[in-house]
């Protein structure tokens, strides 16, 4: 007999979320963590700092979910009303928790912050809740059980919430809930549209076992192909999914850059680190976005030497030594200019590989010959320089994202083209 799936609802509280001042990243992170242990998320909600809204949300969530996880509204100021509302909702009363008070006192002292009355009130908690420590902040988490539901309330500060989840809640959920094993496998692809990919793998997808669910997860420049299976043991699920992955790999090989759910900049970093190679970038239309992606990876200083953001032709000429005749005859957005940018930045910064990009990000600046979105990407090594023309579209933000990802993938392909034959010798 199959174990019934545990249903969870995630509620975020805060006016700042509803007016778009703060983006709710908590819900996505929590969903990932609890899904990994076999808990299904049936609903996500964001509500205002309003007593009746909070009560209504809890009432509705308790009808459709076994586990209700709430973040936000536990701060020390008057606009943070969650704790008082929750105390009333569960028919409790606020009491001073000496353990929490001691923690708050020690935490503020370690930060050289003077204790005030609002800080002291952080130690007031409902008398009928179980207090969950917050080792990263002053507001503790609170655990309630009512009828067949579990309610957990946490502060909205992301690093505090994540600390509480990692240290206390995830281990407890694993013990409390008899959840099925779940296994995800994500294949990362670049250079193919979602609709084209669906046609490309249609026969393979049609023959997938019923126990495997396939999802297409596109973002600008990237498609995540995720296979999910639930069952008795991780070992059986892993073998089942891996068998299907092995069937599709030959089909998607031209577009696959990783079998791990990781950004392309992480994949490139691993390749460069293992092979002790270095890279540099020369950017025009992306304005440093490629370098930013590369340096977002911890340890990137080992392989990334630097970048020249040559947004103007003057800098292309003076700093990157691009021939003025090329700029005059072909324009900045051209194969000739992009290739010389790649060749010269590699020489100037003395790296093994380089990538250069020049394009029209838009929404203005296009022409009949070179419409908005036209982009040239060039990659270079000691042995060769390769270039490719892209036409992305008319949305500036998406163009920069897609151009940056595409440039990194062209760089990855060049590096592997030269490294893999050496590894086989």
State residue 378's pLDDT score. 98
Domain boundary among 258, 279, 313: 258
Residue 343 in domain: yes
Residue 366 in domain: yes
List phi, psi (to 5°) of 345.
Answer: -70, -35
Residue 88 in domain: yes
**Residues 135, 234 within the same domain:** no
Cα–Cα distance, 406 to 418 (Å, whole number): 19
Residue 54 in domain: yes
**Residues 25, 149 within the same domain:** yes
As a whole number, mean pLDDT of residues 394-414 equals 96
**Residues 310, 205 within the same domain:** no
Residue 325 in domain: yes
Cα–Cα distance, 64 to 200 (Å, whole number): 39
State residue 79's pLDDT score. 76
As a whole number, mean pLDDT of residues 29-53 equals 94
Tens digits of residue pLDDT in 189-231: 999 999 999 999 999 999 999 999 999 999 999 999 999 998 8
**Number of structural domains in the chain:** 3
**Residues 155, 232 within the same domain:** no
State residue 332's pLDDT score. 97
- What does the buried/exposed string (b/e) look like for 356-382 if buried means 16 or more CB atoms within 10 Å of the residue's CB? bbbbbbbeeebeeebebbbbbbbbbbe
**Residues 396, 273 within the same domain:** yes
Residue 391 sits in a domain whose CATH number is 3.90.950.20
Residue 1 in domain: no
Helix 264-275 with 396-424: angle, nearest 10 deg: 30
**Residues 242, 370 within the same domain:** no
Cut 0.85: pTM above it:
no
**Residues 171, 189 within the same domain:** no
State residue 2's pLDDT score. 44
- Is a pLDDT exceeding 90 seen at residue 88? yes
- Is a pLDDT exceeding 50 seen at residue 1? no
**Residues 339, 221 within the same domain:** no
By residue range, what is the domain housing residue 122? Answer: 6-176
Residue 25 sits in a domain whose CATH number is 3.40.980.10
Residue 203 sits in a domain whose CATH number is 3.30.70
Task: Count CB atoms within 10 A of the CB of residue 393.
Answer: 14
Tens digits of residue pLDDT in 122-164: 999 999 999 999 999 999 999 999 999 999 999 999 999 999 9
State residue 3's pLDDT score. 47
Task: Count CB atoms within 10 A of the CB of residue 385.
Answer: 17
Q: pLDDT class for 105, splitting at 50, 70, 90?
A: very high
101, 70 contact by CB (below 8 A): no
Give burial (CB, 10 Å; 0-12/13-18/19+) of 184: middle
Tens digits of residue pLDDT in 243-263: 999 999 999 999 999 999 999
**Residues 159, 97 within the same domain:** yes
**Residues 234, 268 within the same domain:** no
State residue 231's pLDDT score. 85
Q: Residue 31's closest CA among 3, 1, 88, 71? A: 71
Cα–Cα distance, 24 to 26 (Å, whole number): 5
Domain boundary among 258, 290, 311: 258
Mean pLDDT score across all residues of the chain: 94
Residue 189 in domain: yes
**Residues 168, 190 within the same domain:** no
As a whole number, mean pLDDT of residues 304-315 equals 97
């Amino acid at each position: 007999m199959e174990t019934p799936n545990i249903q969870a609802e995630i509620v975020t509280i805060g006016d700042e979320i509803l007016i778009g001042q703060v983006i709710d990243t908590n819900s996505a992170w929590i969903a990932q963590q609890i899904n990994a242990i076999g808990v299904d998320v049936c609903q996500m909600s964001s509500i205002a700092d309003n007593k009746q809204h909070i009560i209504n949300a809890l009432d509705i969530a308790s009808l459709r979910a076994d586990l209700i996880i709430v973040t936000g509204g536990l701060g020390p100021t008057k606009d943070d009303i969650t704790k008082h509302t929750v105390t009333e909702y569960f028919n409790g009363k606020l009491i001073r928790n000496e353990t929490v008070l001691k923690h708050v006192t020690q935490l503020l002292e370690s930060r050289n912050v003077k204790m005030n009355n609002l800080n002291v009130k952080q130690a007031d908690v409902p008398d009928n809740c179980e207090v969950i420590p917050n080792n990263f902040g002053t507001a503790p988490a609170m655990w309630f059980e009512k009828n067949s539901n579990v309610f957990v309330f946490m502060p909205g500060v992301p690093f505090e919430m994540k600390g509480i989840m990692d240290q206390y809640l995830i281990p407890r959920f694993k013990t409390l809930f008899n959840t099925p094993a779940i296994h995800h496998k994500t294949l990362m692809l670049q250079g193919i549209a979602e609709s084209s990919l669906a046609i490309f793998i249609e026969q393979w997808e049609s023959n997938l076992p019923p126990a495997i669910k396939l999802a297409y997860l596109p973002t600008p420049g990237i498609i995540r192909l995720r296979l999910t299976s639930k069952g008795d043991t991780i070992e059986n699920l892993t073998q089942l999914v891996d068998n299907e992955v092995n069937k599709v790999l030959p089909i998607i090989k031209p577009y696959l850059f990783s079998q791990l759910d990781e950004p392309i900049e992480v994949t490139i970093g691993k390749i460069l680190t293992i092979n002790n190679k270095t890279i540099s970038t020369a950017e025009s239309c992306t304005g440093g976005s490629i370098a930013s992606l590369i340096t977002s990876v911890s340890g990137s200083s080992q392989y990334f030497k630097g970048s020249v953001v040559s947004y103007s032709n003057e800098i292309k000429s003076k700093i990157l030594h691009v021939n003025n005749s090329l700029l005059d005859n072909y324009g900045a957005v051209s194969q000739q200019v992009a290739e010389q940018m790649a060749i010269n930045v590699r020489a100037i910064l003395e790296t093994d590989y380089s990538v250069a990009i020049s394009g029209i990000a838009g929404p203005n600046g296009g022409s009949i010959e070179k419409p908005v979105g036209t982009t040239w990407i060039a990659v270079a090594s000691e042995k060769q320089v390769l270039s490719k023309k892209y036409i992305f579209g008319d949305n500036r933000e998406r163009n920069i994202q897609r151009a940056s990802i595409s440039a990194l993938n062209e760089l990855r392909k060049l590096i592997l083209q030269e490294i893999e034959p050496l590894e086989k010798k």
